[in-house]
Amino acid sequence: MSIFKSTVRFIGFTLLGLFVLMLFAALIAYLDHLDGSLVALLISSGITLAAGLGSVLSTKARQNIDLKTGFFIVTGCWVAACLFGALPFVLYGHEFTFVNALFESVSGFTTTGASILNDIEAVPKGLLFWRIATAWIGGIGVVSLVSILISTRNDRHSQLAGLELSSIAKEYYRGRRRQFIYRILTVYVGLTLASTYGLHLAGMTWFDAITHAMSACSTCGFSTKNISVAAFDSPAIEAILCVSMLLAGINFSLIFSTFWPSGSNRKNLFNTRIVKVFLGSVLLGILCLTVDLLLSKTYHSVWEAFRVASFQMCSITTTTGFATTDTNLWPSFCKAILIIGSLICGCSGSTSGGIKIDRVWVALRGTSEMFKSLIDPNKYGYVRLDGGSKTEEEVSSVISFIMLYILIVSVGMAVYVASGMDFLTGLSASIACMGNVGPGFGVVGSMGNYAGLSDFLKLFSIALMLLGRLEIYPIMIVLGSVAKKVLNRSRF
Which pLDDT tens digit goes with each residue over 67-125? Answer: 778 888 888 999 999 999 999 999 998 899 999 999 999 999 999 999 999 999 999 99
Asked if 470 and 164 touch (Cβ cutoff 8 Å), the reply is: yes
Among 385, 315, 313, 321, CA closest to 349: 385
Enter the pTM of the model: 0.91
Instruction: Judge contact between 220 and 115, C-beta under 8 A.
Output: no
305 with 294: CB under 8 angstroms?
A: yes
The reported pLDDT for the residue numbered 483 is 80
Those residues with Cβ within 8 angstroms of residue 490's Cβ, 6 or more apart along the chain or in another chain: none
Q: What are phi and psi of 111, to 5 degrees?
A: 60, 30
Amino acid at 433: C
Contacts with 32 (C-beta within 8 Å, 6 or more apart), sequence order: 124, 125, 126
Interval 446-462: pLDDT, tens: 998 999 999 999 999 99
Phi and psi dihedrals of 389, rounded to 5?
-125, 150
What per-residue confidence (pLDDT) applies to 270? 80
Residue 342's pLDDT is 94
In this prediction, residue 154 has a pLDDT band, given cuts at 50, 70 and 90, of very low
Tell whether the model's pLDDT for residue 370 goes beyond 80. no
* Inter-axis angle of helices 455-469 and 67-85, nearest 10: 140
3-state secondary structure of 115: coil
Q: What are 382-395's pLDDT values in tens digits?
A: 677 666 677 777 78
pLDDT at 138 over 70: yes
Q: At what angle do helices 142-150 and 67-85 cross, to 10 degrees?
A: 110
pLDDT of residue 171: 57
- Out of 178-182, 213-217, 319-323, 417-421, least confident range: 178-182
Residues in the chain: 492
CB 255, CB 187: distance < 8 Å: yes
Residue 262 banded pLDDT, cuts 50, 70, 90: low
| pLDDT above 90 coverage of the chain, percent | 59
Average pLDDT, the chain: 87
Q: How far apart are CA 166 and CA 471, in angstroms?
A: 7
Q: Is 298 helix (H, G, I), strand (E, B) or coil?
A: coil
The confidence score (pLDDT) of residue 472 equals: 87
The residues near 277 (Cβ < 8 Å, ≥ 6 apart) are 357, 361
Measured CA distances, 481 to 161, 268, 417 (Å):
21, 40, 31
Tell me what pLDDT residue 153 has: 45
pLDDT at residue 378 is higher than 90: no
Give the model confidence (pLDDT) of 223-247 as tens digits.
999 999 999 999 999 999 999 999 9
pLDDT at 152 over 50: no
pLDDT of residue 183: 78
Q: Residue 380 — very low, low, confident or very high, per pLDDT cuts 50/70/90? A: low
CA–CA gap between residue 342 and residue 357 (Å, rounded): 11
* Per-residue pLDDT tens over the stretch 416-439: 999 999 999 999 999 999 999 999
**CA Rg, the chain, in Å?**
22
Task: Identify the top-confidence range among 44-48, 53-57, 344-348, 357-361.
Answer: 44-48
For 274-295, how does the pLDDT look when each residue is reduced to its tens digit (9 = 90+)?
899 999 999 999 999 999 999 9
Quick check: helix, strand or coil at residue 385? strand
